[in-house]
Chains A and B, each alone.
Chain A
Amino acid sequence: MTQPIVAVENLRVLFPTRDRKETVKAVDGVSFAVQPGETFGIIGESGSGKSTLGRAVVCLLKPTEGRVLHNGGNPHDLSAAELRRARREYQIVFQDPNAALNPRMTILRSVREPLDIAGTVPSGDRDRVALEMLDRVGIAPEFSTRYPHELSGGQKQRVNIARVLTVRPKLIVCDEVVAALDVSIRAGILNLFADLQREFGLTYLFITHDLGVVSHVSSRIAVMYLGAFMELGAPEALVSRPYHPYTEALMSAEPVPLPSHMRTGQRIVLQGEIPSPTNPPSGCRFRTRCPIAKDLCASKTPDWREMEPGHFAACHFAEPRP
């Protein structure tokens, strides 16, 4: 085993509710390790804690409990100046193409800004580096003098990618990076991410609620529900032989554009909604929506078990298959 580029150990991230009477358990005991060069996918419904987890991985949030290790070291042990330097290697791109772009800055200034902050490249070279990066992500030089509102969503997302690439990160957390884009544009951005990964040896933590996207890009996928992982495995195994009832339901809920005679028609429609993360159900947190829940599920939290090599699930009734 090589040194993981990120190791997350028993991570919990809690937030006080607005009235400060309760705590939101956004991430509630998550462990995993990401190997250099892989794309680790995280899928889950809204509010399951994906973004919170992603922010904790790039040190935008501090763990309430547990640790996030970068290359084996704990970035929160570093001095403020050291942390700032170390954080450059761990970048994040968001769903909203506008989130990181200042509407009053030209595209070139936005892309160059991280270099200005880092100060690693001589100031005379920064425009050139920024323009090269824009070119690399498929943005023509004439766009560099324009402002964000003059670009389409897909173009802005390319600019965001160029922006984080200028500081030569090792890992990029991609938080719903294609969710706001049309399917035809989406394909181009996903292709770009794949090319850049090969070219720069990047590692991705790829967060999405889109099953098609996550299984196309990921080497491993974690399924998250209410702050915890339910299942983790290779995409082929997860899609064709899920062990966890929640994974199974997610797969079957995904609408597929197949003609009527090719659809199986046996869709599992989960009842109810995802419970509040301030007060997750006892035992198995999926039990209030699980079609096969038993009494045991309320009293005992299921263990995280390895069902086959590299494939984990947390369900009392999952049986390893030969």
Chain B
Amino acid sequence: MNGEPLLAVSGLGVHFRMGRQEVQATRDVAFSIQPGERVGIVGESGCGKTVTGLALLGLLPAATSRVEGSAMFEGQNIIGLAPRALRRVRGRKIGMIFQEPMSALDPVFTIGQQIGETIRVHFGATREDARTRAVAALASVGISSPERVHDSYPHQLSGGMRQRAMIAIALVCEPRLLIADEPTTALDVTIQAQIIDLLLDLSSRTGTALLFISHDLGVIAETCTRMITMYAGQVVEDAPVDFALVRPRHPYTSGLLRSLPRLSPRGAALPSISGRVPSLRDMPAGCRFAARCAHAQPGCDAPQIMASAAPDHLVRCARHADLDLPGALTELEKVA
């Protein structure tokens, strides 16, 4: 941890109005990203990963949601920015890609028109200049016939191609931060491998920082240097990926890692986490994981705070100091 972070999130909470009630989807989310750093957010579905990304991008529905807390990005709080100020940041300095590029791309415009639009808005480029830059951007994400793709409509492209086009659009303004929400989840493994390689290559070449949201621990391990585990709307662990994988300090992170089939002998029962994520309407006041935690004790019914478990390793668990939790390595691998 050195220097000024590129993004410093603190006290971020998202509330949704549902009928007459208000529910809180995320609470007190705090983390930071250094320039060029690649940070992953993992957790089961509904834990608040997407909501966190959307809050940072100012993309939550204004009428039914309320965001509290702050996110300092290059000296400016981007939470609650006015639309005009937001447009100078989103798409320009913070790029974004989503799981389903089809929903983010406009079906009635060609890929080229959509990239060109971004270039003209942000750089005031001429039409010809925009085309040249758009084709170059498509080529830079490994599209082998960029001219053809430039003139294609989204539905004429495969899922992998659309995701590449999305990345090209997101990166054409050379953002300092790219927020990627499950960008490979809808893709086949061989195409996923191509996209991961592409993102790693781009981030090391351009110094773009990455906030990579995924439920797939393997994908996070291969892409990121730091891993944030979210559970029931809270960050429960924040550590360098290599630490979190080898020696997780939160029972939930450990449980997620242990339930992967590769760690159990073939045919043997897999360790599973019983129960399910508590409902937003019914959040326990104490540790939110307690009902599913094998290590729960009386002290766990108090609200848990993020505490330092080791240098550069934060965890939200009262018992982190007494527990020696297994990570992603088999007994054999630990010895090796």
Residues of A within 8 A of B (CB): 45-46, 152, 154, 182-188, 190-191, 194, 209, 211-213, 215-217, 235-236, 249-250, 252-263, 267, 269-271, 273-274, 289
Interface of chain B residues 241 through 256 with chain A (CB within 8 A): 241-242, 245-246, 255-256
A-contact bits for B191-210, CB 8 A (1 contact / 0 none): 11110110000000000000
Q: Indicate whether B222 reaches chain A with its CB closer than 8 angstroms.
A: yes
B196 surroundings in chain A (CB, below 8 A): 255
B262 surroundings in chain A (CB, below 8 A): 212, 216, 256
| Contacting pair B261 A212 (CB below 8 A) | yes
Which has the most chain A C-beta neighbours within 10 Å: B197, B217, B262?
B262
Complex Cα distance, B241 from A45, in Å, reads 28
| Contacting pair A154 B276 (CB below 8 A) | yes
Q: Interface stretch among B63-71, B89-97, B267-275?
A: B267-275
Taking A253-B192, A259-B329 as known contacts, 17 extra A-B pairs with beta carbons closer than 8 A to each other, sorted by chain A number, are: A45-B188, A187-B261, A187-B271, A188-B270, A191-B272, A209-B189, A211-B189, A213-B261, A215-B261, A216-B270, A255-B193, A257-B218, A257-B220, A257-B221, A262-B336, A269-B190, A270-B193
Q: Indicate whether B322 reaches chain A with its CB closer than 8 angstroms.
A: no
B328 surroundings in chain A (CB, below 8 A): 257-259
Nearest CB of B to A176, in Å: 13
Nearest CB of A to B333, in Å: 7
| Contacting pair B215 A183 (CB below 8 A) | yes
Q: Indicate whether B104 reaches chain A with its CB closer than 8 angstroms.
A: no
Majority secondary structure of chain A interface residues (helix, strand, loop or mixed)? helix
A-contact bits for B174-195, CB 8 A (1 contact / 0 none): 0000000000000011111110
| Contacting pair B267 A273 (CB below 8 A) | no
Q: Indicate whether B132 reaches chain A with its CB closer than 8 angstroms.
A: no
Picked from B190, B245, B260, the residue with its CB within 8 Å of the CB of A183 is B260
Nearest CB of A to B148, in Å: 14
Complex Cα distance, B196 from A174, in Å, reads 29
Q: Indicate whether B147 reaches chain A with its CB closer than 8 angstroms.
A: no
Q: Indicate whether B266 reaches chain A with its CB closer than 8 angstroms.
A: yes
Q: Indicate whether B45 reaches chain A with its CB closer than 8 angstroms.
A: yes
Picked from A152, A191, A270, A273, the residue with its CB within 8 Å of the CB of B270 is A191
| Contacting pair B267 A152 (CB below 8 A) | no
5 contacts between A and B (CB under 8 A): A184-B259, A191-B272, A250-B189, A267-B193, A269-B193
Nearest CB of A to B167, in Å: 16
Complex Cα distance, B197 from A257, in Å, reads 16
| Contacting pair B45 A255 (CB below 8 A) | no
On whether A260 and B242 interact (CB within 8 A), knowing A152-B276, A209-B189, the answer reads yes
| Contacting pair B188 A257 (CB below 8 A) | no
Q: Indicate whether B79 reaches chain A with its CB closer than 8 angstroms.
A: no
Picked from A152, A215, A259, the residue with its CB within 8 Å of the CB of B246 is A259
A289 surroundings in chain B (CB, below 8 A): 190
Picked from B215, B222, B261, the residue with its CB within 8 Å of the CB of A263 is B222
Complex Cα distance, B197 from A74, in Å, reads 48
Complex Cα distance, B222 from A215, in Å, reads 21
Q: Indicate whether B301 reaches chain A with its CB closer than 8 angstroms.
A: no
Q: Indicate whether B160 reaches chain A with its CB closer than 8 angstroms.
A: yes
On whether A258 and B245 interact (CB within 8 A), knowing A184-B44, A212-B262, the answer reads yes
Nearest CB of A to B279, in Å: 10
Nearest CB of B to A263, in Å: 7
Complex Cα distance, B151 from A240, in Å, reads 44
Nearest CB of B to A257, in Å: 4
On whether A183 and B218 interact (CB within 8 A), knowing A217-B267, A269-B193, A270-B190, the answer reads no
| Contacting pair A183 B256 (CB below 8 A) | yes
Interface of chain B residues 152 through 184 with chain A (CB within 8 A): 158, 160-161
A255 surroundings in chain B (CB, below 8 A): 189, 192-193, 196, 216, 218-219, 221-222
Q: Indicate whether B264 reaches chain A with its CB closer than 8 angstroms.
A: yes
Q: Indicate whether B138 reaches chain A with its CB closer than 8 angstroms.
A: no
Q: Indicate whether B257 reaches chain A with its CB closer than 8 angstroms.
A: yes
Interface of chain B residues 213 through 243 with chain A (CB within 8 A): 215-222, 241-242
A258 surroundings in chain B (CB, below 8 A): 221, 245, 328-329, 333
Nearest CB of A to B43, in Å: 9
| Contacting pair B192 A216 (CB below 8 A) | no
Complex Cα distance, B242 from A321, in Å, reads 37
On whether A188 and B267 interact (CB within 8 A), knowing A182-B44, A209-B189, A257-B221, the answer reads no
B246 surroundings in chain A (CB, below 8 A): 259
Picked from B190, B217, B336, the residue with its CB within 8 Å of the CB of A250 is B190
A250 surroundings in chain B (CB, below 8 A): 189-190
A185 surroundings in chain B (CB, below 8 A): 44, 272, 276
> Considering only CB atoms, which chain A residue lies closest to B44 in the complex?
A182
| Contacting pair B255 A45 (CB below 8 A) | no
Which 4 A-B pairs have CB atoms at the shortest separation, nearest pair first?
A255-B218, A187-B272, A216-B261, A187-B270
On whether A190 and B333 interact (CB within 8 A), knowing A45-B189, A269-B197, the answer reads no
Complex Cα distance, B13 from A189, in Å, reads 33
Nearest CB of A to B37, in Å: 15
| Contacting pair A256 B218 (CB below 8 A) | yes
Nearest CB of B to A79, in Å: 40
B267 surroundings in chain A (CB, below 8 A): 194, 216-217
| Contacting pair A216 B216 (CB below 8 A) | no
On whether A253 and B193 interact (CB within 8 A), knowing A235-B266, A263-B222, the answer reads yes
A187 surroundings in chain B (CB, below 8 A): 259, 261, 270-273
B255 surroundings in chain A (CB, below 8 A): 184
Complex Cα distance, B255 from A259, in Å, reads 17
Nearest CB of B to A233, in Å: 14
B270 surroundings in chain A (CB, below 8 A): 187-188, 190-191, 216
> Considering only CB atoms, which chain A residue lies closest to B198 in the complex?
A269
